[in-house]
Amino acid sequence: MQTDHLLDRLLFALLWLMLLAYALLFAPPPPPDLLGQIRDLALARVQSVDPIAIAVFNLLGVLPVAFLALLLFDTGRPSPWPFALGSFVLGGFILLPYLVMRNTHAPLDATPGGFVRAVGSRLAGAVLLIVAAGLIGLALIAGDPAAFAAQFRGSAFIAAMSVDLLVLTVALHRTATIDRRRRGLRLGGWPARAVHLPLLGPLFYLALRKQV
């Protein structure tokens, strides 16, 4: 168990260092109108930004909610709250350090508040799963990989958020696995395979997980 804990810390630390290295050393220059590009992404203006970029931007709102559902039951130190809430703005840059430091041997909160119960409920997990599946469908159906690649190469913001999504996806899968281990949950049949689906697997797990 101690070995697993150490390996988890090393994985999250490596992901954090990779994200920092990319953002600082390899990302393209910022776009001429960064605020305008963020506005276009937020308003889903497909005439300005490719639907794949729009999907990535919105998925970076879905994944932090999933992390809330997994992390806010922690009772160890440091508190997960500032890191989990900060991930809505800073993504993996602030969330991954918490995943490195968190104490997964501390007991889970058996009497969480109403907000934590709501965000950790099966219903919330099902909503996240549906929203994420819809965004992935948007990217696959309406997206133009060549146009997205051009925007990736031309904008530090789109490039950084895309890499952030990849890093957070890996981190979310591992965090969900740790959560299953801490709760002693065992899945069989097709659910045991479904939870390993890229990106959607952890959300499917949250839709199955019993309320604490």
List, for the chain, all residue ranges whose pLDDT scores fall below the cut of 70: 1-2, 211-212
Where does residue 27 fall: left (phi above 0), alpha (psi -120 to 50 degrees), or beta otherwise?
beta
Q: What is the pLDDT of residue 211?
A: 65
Domain ranges, residue 130 = 2-208
Contact 51, 138 (CB under 8 A): yes
Q: What is the pLDDT of residue 154?
A: 94
How many domains are contained in the chain?
Answer: 1
Q: What is the pLDDT of residue 4?
A: 74
Q: What is the pLDDT of residue 1?
A: 57
In the numeric block, the tokens 């740790």 are attached to 178
Task: Kindly report, residue by residue over 43-90, the tens digit of the pLDDT.
Answer: 999 999 999 999 999 999 999 999 999 999 999 899 999 999 999 999
**CA 98 to mean position of chain CA atoms:** 14
Contacts (Cβ under 8 Å, ≥6 apart) of 109: 72, 73, 74, 75, 116, 212
Between the alpha carbon of residue 201 and those of residues 35, 130, 192, the distances in Å are 33, 12, 10
Q: What is the pLDDT of residue 42?
A: 96
Q: What is the pLDDT of residue 69?
A: 97
Tokens encoding 183: 């709760």
